């Protein structure tokens, strides 16, 4: 993918969306779910 980004963390988030690598953990007590993008929280 040749997409470009303005912010430092955006490429890592985008890469995780391609690979389904979880990067973001829900902070709700007792949840523990992890997601590849912050919009999925």
The reported pLDDT for the residue numbered 2 is 73
The reported pLDDT for the residue numbered 30 is 92
Instruction: Give the tokens for residue 30.
Output: 């007792």
| b/e 15-24 (16+ beta carbons within 10 angstroms → b) | ebeeeeeebb
Mean pLDDT split into 10-residue runs, the chain, 41 residues? 71 70 82 78 66
| Structural domain spans, the chain | 10-40
The reported pLDDT for the residue numbered 41 is 66
């Amino acid at each position: 993918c040749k997409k470009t980004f303005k912010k430092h963390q955006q490429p890592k988030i985008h890469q995780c969306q391609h690979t389904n690598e979880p990067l973001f953990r829900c902070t709700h007590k007792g949840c523990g779910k992890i997601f590849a993008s912050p919009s999925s929280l």
